[in-house]
């Protein structure tokens, strides 16, 4: 299974709810405003770092770039993918659960 989170964790509880329900071993893709959850050194970073221990977490490159977020600012362990990578994840990981 893969989960997508497209809203900022500072604005909405989508990330919190996703992390509460996402099973260990599932993949999480941050896209659109959800990419802000990938930043290190924020009030949200600790929960994302903790989630990395049991989930693969990805961030959509084009959305990071659009928001001026360099890869050096990201939490270590988060993998950046493009839309092609997003497609590959959807193929490999099974059912997609969108947290809006």
Partner 1 sequence: MKFGILVNEGPFNHQASDSAYQFAKAAVAKGHQVMRVFFYYDGVNNANKLSEPQSDDRNIVKLWGELGKAHKIDLVVCVAAGLRRGIKEQVLAEGFRISGLGQLSEVGIAADRMLTFGD
Partner 2 sequence: MSEEVVFDTQGIVKKFMFVNRKAPYGTIYALEILESVLISAAFEQDTSVAFLDDGVFQIKKGSDTKDSGMKNFTNTYRALAGYDVEKLYVEKESLEARGLTPEDLIVKVQVLPAAELGKLMAEQDVLITG
The residues of the shown chain that bind partner 2, judged by CB under 8 A, are 1, 13, 17, 20-23, 26, 95-100
Residue 72 burial (10 A CB sphere; 0-12, 13-18, 19+): exposed
Stretch that binds partner 1, among 16-24, 43-51, 71-79, 83-91 (CB under 8 A): 83-91
Stretch that binds partner 1, among 41-49, 51-59, 70-78, 80-88 (CB under 8 A): 80-88
Report the partner that residue 21 touches, choosing among partner 1, partner 2, none (CB closer than 5 to 8 A by kind): partner 2
Q: Are 66 and 46 in contact (CB under 8 A)?
A: no
Query: Does 98 sit near partner 1 (CB under 8 A)?
Result: yes
Nearer to partner 2 among residue 76 and residue 95 (C-beta): 95
N-term to C-term CA, the chain: 16
Query: Does 80 sit near partner 1 (CB under 8 A)?
Result: no
Which segments of 1-100 does DSSP mark as H helices, in order?
14-21, 45-51, 61-66, 83-93
Query: Does 3 sit near partner 1 (CB under 8 A)?
Result: no
Residue 96 burial (10 A CB sphere; 0-12, 13-18, 19+): middle
Footprint on residues 20-49 left by partner 1 (CB under 8 A): 31-33
């Amino acid at each position: 299974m893969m989960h997508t989170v497209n809203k900022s964790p500072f604005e909405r509880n989508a990330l919190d709810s996703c992390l509460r329900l996402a099973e260990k071993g599932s993949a999480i893709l941050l896209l659109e405003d959800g990419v802000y959850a990938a930043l290190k050194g924020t009030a949200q970073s600790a929960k994302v770092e903790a989630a990395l221990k049991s989930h693969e977490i990805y961030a959509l490159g084009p959305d990071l770039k659009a928001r001026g977020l360099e890869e050096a600012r990201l939490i270590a362990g988060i993998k950046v993918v493009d839309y092609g990578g997003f497609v590959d994840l959807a193929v490999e990981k099974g059912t997609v659960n969108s947290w809006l």
